[in-house]
Each structure stands twice: as C-alpha cells, then as structure tokens.
Structure 1
Amino acid sequence: MGIDTERDIEANLQIGPTDAGMVRLFIEAGTTEIPMDFEPDEAREIAEEILAAAKAAESVGRKKKR
C-alpha cells in the first residue's frame, strides 16, 4: 500500500504547541493514538511540505477537469 491507496479509515488530527516548546501532531484513529512531537524548525519544514503537496494536488485536479 502506498500514499495513493485509498482506505476507509476515519482519523482525527490535532496540531498545537506543547508546554515543552515542541509542536505536536496528535492523530487519533479508533483506539489508536499517535502523538508526534517536532522542534519548531522541523514543524516549519513539514508545513512547507504540506503546502507543496497541496499545490501539486491542485495542479493534478485542474488537469483532470479539462
């Protein structure tokens, strides 16, 4: 299975700062909870990757609509 494989799983994503100065991504799916802590610089890099992926997804969506 890859990133393009669709799955029928619901998940909740929460993002926020921790009291230790980290950025936490907290993923909850059913009974599974995954807390992921990142240094602020790492979180910025992740944000840039998300924005780049969103831009790429938009261009794919435009190509399909033509």
Structure 2
Amino acid sequence: MGIDKQSELAANLQIGPTSLGMVRIYIEGEGVDLPLDFDPDEADEIAEELRAAAERARAMAKDNRGPEPKKRK
C-alpha cells in the first residue's frame, strides 16, 4: 500500500514523552502494537515534515476545488 492509497484499516495513535527523555509515537491497531521512540531533535524534524505535508495537502485540496466563482456586483 502506498502513501496515497486509501485504506479500511484503523489504528489508534498516541504521542508523548517517555521517562527516558524520548518522544514516543505509539500506534495500536488490529494485530499491531508499534512503539516508535525518537530523540527530541528527531521529533522536531518529524513535526516539521508533518506541518509541510499539511500545507501541501491544503494547497492540493484548494487546487482540486477549481477556481473561485465570480462574485456578482
């Protein structure tokens, strides 16, 4: 499955600090328990990538809506 394919899979996502000073992204779904630990600098990089992807997604959604209708005066 690619990043641009829809899926019927569902999972829970939790994000928080660990007692060892790491940032954990924890994914839990049917048959999956996946803890991913990152140092704070890596977590910052991931956050920047998420923000950039959100901006690109907004731009794509806007482009897919087409031009704004002309306003009547």
Other-structure match for 1:36:
36
Which structure is higher in RCO with an 8 Å CA cutoff and minimum separation 6?
1
Distance 2:48 2:8 in 1: 27
Q: State the identity %.
A: 52
Q: Report which of the two structures shows the higher radius of gyration computed on alpha carbons.
A: 2
CA RMSD across the alignment: 0.7
Distance 1:46 1:32 in 2: 22
Q: Deviations over 1:2-41 (max 9, x none)?
A: 1101110011100000000000000011131000000000
Other-structure match for 2:21:
21
Structure 2: 5+ residue runs without aligned partners? 67-73
Please give the TM-score of this superposition, normalised by the length of structure 1.
Answer: 0.96
Please give the TM-score of this superposition, normalised by the length of structure 2.
Answer: 0.87
